[in-house]
Chains A and B, each alone.
Chain A
């Protein structure tokens, strides 16, 4: 299955443009038929009780998996690290009945700002309950084959690595030297 996103919102499935409700229903049906999205976990309720919850969320599982994956290609590592914290806090607020808290709309503003580049298509493979992302495409992709390749077409000057690592690990190395002296 292919899901296309525009600014962080799903707009197409399997190259068919659909209205949001139909789109979610379509993905629910297709992924559900493949046994995707059965969640069985221990959950902490707001009042403190731990409960075993079982959900069937085929559409949500596919869409969130694809969206998270697309973000990893188009956002910087700094954005991703910070957004993961924001996402967890957002989820906690929504779960805990604090939908109306100003913090949630504050977080929404940050999240929305990151979504301008989250456009592209993610290809998913489903098979008897398993779900895998097997391809992604975006005009905002930060992935560069020329930089990542280990072949001779590489445009990355690896001799720069030596100095970078020296400085990157400077404090850790110094701290360990000091500990050994004691």
Chain B
């Protein structure tokens, strides 16, 4: 192998594809880092998955306390809401994750830093800027570099026997102590009540009563229409 790349690894579709890609196309050994920022994922499973994909070493780093002290608390003091709505949770976690990757890269004597961000989102900015602020190593971002889409990634994963969680086929999820973010391809601009979206198989924190009220609303609307038509 021609050296080591350190990759921020969530265990999801993007970063799993990136492991294989770094190994096959760049001929690099891969060291993976999963940073616990309160996402409540099974870290043992993630670690096992990284190893099954042939990584040289995997690090689980519990950074929850640091996440709270250095990121969430300042955000509370700043009443941090982007465009008056979004509490910034992913935006807060990325610099911390990237800092941990840089620390591991120094320890490992790595020759490259990697991430699984697309070229369309905000996370590439957060990773790149933090990587650059702490290191001069080259940055490899295969999803962005190859202009990959989710369906192509799914095919690639299948071809290379990368196990993929069934929800990953439908959703992209990001979770930490400060938020849960969901993205689903089928959402349209005017479609769906969020309560309905949340009932579609993800972590549900919403009181069941809300679902009942929602269903009741539908029934009332239906009955009113019937009366109107009489």
Which residues of A approach B to under 8 Å, CB–CB? Answer: 8-10, 20-21, 24-25, 28-29, 32-35, 38-41, 43-47, 49, 52-61, 63-64, 67-68, 71, 86-87, 90-92, 94-100, 107-108, 111-112, 115, 118, 128-129
Interface residues of B in 178-223 (CB under 8 A from A): 178-183, 187, 189, 194-195, 197-198, 205-207, 209-210, 213
Residue in contact with A56 in the complex, picked from B85, B94, B180, CB distance below 8 Å: B180
Total CB contacts across the A-B interface at under 8 A: 169
Is B48 close to A, CB under 8 A?
no
Q: Are A38 and B194 in contact (CB under 8 A)?
A: yes
Which residues of B approach A to under 8 Å, CB–CB? Answer: 38, 64-65, 68-69, 72-83, 85-89, 91-92, 94-95, 119-122, 125-126, 128-130, 133, 177-183, 187, 189, 194-195, 197-198, 205-207, 209-210, 213
| From B74, B128, B183, residue with most partner A Cβ within 10 Å | B74
Q: Are B95 and A99 in contact (CB under 8 A)?
A: yes
Chain A residue nearest in CB terms to B80: A91
* Given A29-B205, A43-B86, A97 and B178 contact (CB-CB distance below 8 Å): no
Shortest beta-carbon distance from A79 to chain B in Å: 13
Q: Are B94 and A97 in contact (CB under 8 A)?
A: yes
Q: Are A86 and B78 in contact (CB under 8 A)?
A: yes
Q: Are A94 and B77 in contact (CB under 8 A)?
A: no
Residue in contact with B125 in the complex, picked from A28, A34, A53, A97, CB distance below 8 Å: A97
* Given A24-B177, A97-B129, A47 and B194 contact (CB-CB distance below 8 Å): no
| From B64, B88, B195, residue with most partner A Cβ within 10 Å | B88
Contacts of B120 in A (CB 8 A): 45, 47, 49
Q: Are A46 and B205 in contact (CB under 8 A)?
A: no
Contacts of A53 in B (CB 8 A): 86, 181, 183
In the A-B complex, list the 8 residue pairs whose CB atoms are closest, starting with the nearest.
Answer: A32-B205, A97-B125, A60-B87, A97-B126, A99-B95, A95-B82, A90-B78, A8-B77
Give the complex CA separation of A33 and B210 in angstroms: 10
Q: Are B87 and A20 in contact (CB under 8 A)?
A: no
Q: Are B64 and A21 in contact (CB under 8 A)?
A: yes
Residue in contact with B76 in the complex, picked from A10, A40, A45, A46, CB distance below 8 Å: A10
Contacts of B213 in A (CB 8 A): 128
Shortest beta-carbon distance from B223 to chain A in Å: 22
Contacts of A87 in B (CB 8 A): 78-80
> Can you identify 6 A-B contacts, CB atoms within 8 angstroms?
A21-B177, A24-B38, A35-B206, A38-B206, A52-B187, A52-B189
Residue in contact with B197 in the complex, picked from A8, A20, A54, A57, CB distance below 8 Å: A54
Give the complex CA separation of A38 and B20 in angstroms: 36
Contacts of A46 in B (CB 8 A): 122, 125
* Given A33-B207, A55-B179, A39 and B85 contact (CB-CB distance below 8 Å): yes
Q: Are A64 and B205 in contact (CB under 8 A)?
A: no
Chain B residue nearest in CB terms to A104: B74
Q: Are A108 and B74 in contact (CB under 8 A)?
A: yes
Supplied contacts A39-B86, A55-B179, 8 more A-B pairs, CB within 8 Å: A8-B77, A41-B83, A54-B197, A57-B179, A67-B77, A95-B86, A97-B125, A97-B128
Q: Are B82 and A91 in contact (CB under 8 A)?
A: yes
Contacts of A111 in B (CB 8 A): 74, 77-78
Q: Are B210 and A128 in contact (CB under 8 A)?
A: yes
